[in-house]
Amino acid sequence: NAGVTQTPKFRVLKTGQSMTLLCAQDMNHEYMYWYRQDPGMGLRLIHYSVGEGTTAKGEVPDGYNVSRLKKQNFLLGLESAAPSQTSVYFCASSYSILGTEKNTEAFFGQGTRLTVV
Amino acid sequence: DAKTTQPPSMDCAEGRAANLPCNHSTISGNEYVYWYRQIHSQGPQYIIHGLKNNETNEMASLIITEDRKSSTLILPHATLRDTAVYYCIVRRGGVSNDYKLSFGAGTTVTVRA
């Protein structure tokens, strides 16, 4: 049981290049999230998904796109990378049971360290 | 979601209890208090959560005041491995399908030998 796996773990991009970050979870979770974390700051939500085929914007969505074609995967895309997107990206997933707050904790991946030069 | 206030940093002696405060004075009735921690450069890790009753698990205890305006996370016997940034998060739960987490700056806890 791997939990949440992020690919790749490190990447250096040139300004204007594109790339896709992959997040995979094997816990059959409905909810998946992409966060970014900049030095000395907490995590900020980029996009999230409440189920297969659905996505929604978080607090810092500009410059990113996402897709959730399969329940277990959540992809984060950068169409034209900018130096301001240099950050550590974390994916997370959680279960949801409406009407109760049991087993609703989020599980996080180990992060992708992206540098845009 | 209600905003939380935490001290930016605190030190703790190894083997002693660490008491981490969190203020959430604007919390509403259907909002839960969650605690996560982030050990250097790793992904955040869930610790515990509660609504109004005190909670305990194998990692920590959560004490929520009767008026729910503040809470304390207790690490009963801190070890060097507990050095991390601890985040107190308030989030709507139950009937809402909004499971997003809003992270603040957290408290940097340093456990010293």
How many residues can be counted in chain B? 113
Please name the amino acid found at residue A29: H
pLDDT for res B30: 82
Strand pairing category for B9-13 and B18-23? unpaired
pLDDT band at A101 (very low <50, low <70, confident <90, very high): low
Supply the pLDDT for residue B94: 54
Q: Is A106 on the interface with B (CB under 8 A)?
A: yes
Residue B13, min C-alpha distance to chain A (Å): 24
> From the list A40, A45, A101, which residue is nearest B94 (CB)?
A101
Question: What is the CA angle A24-A27-A33, rounded to 5?
Answer: 50
Check pLDDT > 80 for residue B10.
Answer: yes
Considering just the CA atoms, what is the radius of gyration of chain A in Å?
Answer: 14
**Residues in contact with A102: Cβ distance below 8 Å, sequence separation at least 6, in sequence order:** none
Higher pLDDT, B30 or B80: B80
Which residues of chain B lie closer than 8 angstroms to A44, CB-CB? 103
Contact A104 B104 (CB under 8 A): no
Q: Determine whether the interchain pair A92/B45 forms a contact, defined as Cβ–Cβ distance below 8 Å.
A: no
pLDDT in tens, B12-68: 999 999 999 999 999 988 888 999 999 988 999 999 999 898 999 999 999 999 999
pLDDT digits (tens, 9 = 90+) for A70-96: 999 999 999 999 999 999 999 999 886
pLDDT at B95 over 60: no
Residue with more model confidence, A65 or B40: A65
pLDDT-based confidence at residue A23 (cuts at 50, 70, 90): very high
> What pLDDT does residue A99 have?
54
Q: Do B43 and A50 touch (CB under 8 A)?
A: no
Compute the nearest-CA separation of B105 from chain A (Å): 5
Phi and psi angles of residue A84, each rounded to the nearest 5 degrees, phi first:
-70, -15
Q: Please list every residue in chain B whose beta carbon sits closer than 8 Å to the beta carbon of residue A41.
A: 105
pLDDT (average), residues A47-63: 93
Whole-angstrom distance, CA of residue A95 vs CA of residue A15: 36
The mean pLDDT value for A34-50 works out to 91
Contacts of residue B11, defined as CB under 8 A and 6 or more positions apart, other chains included, come to B109, B110, B111, B112
User: B8: which DSSP letter?
Assistant: S
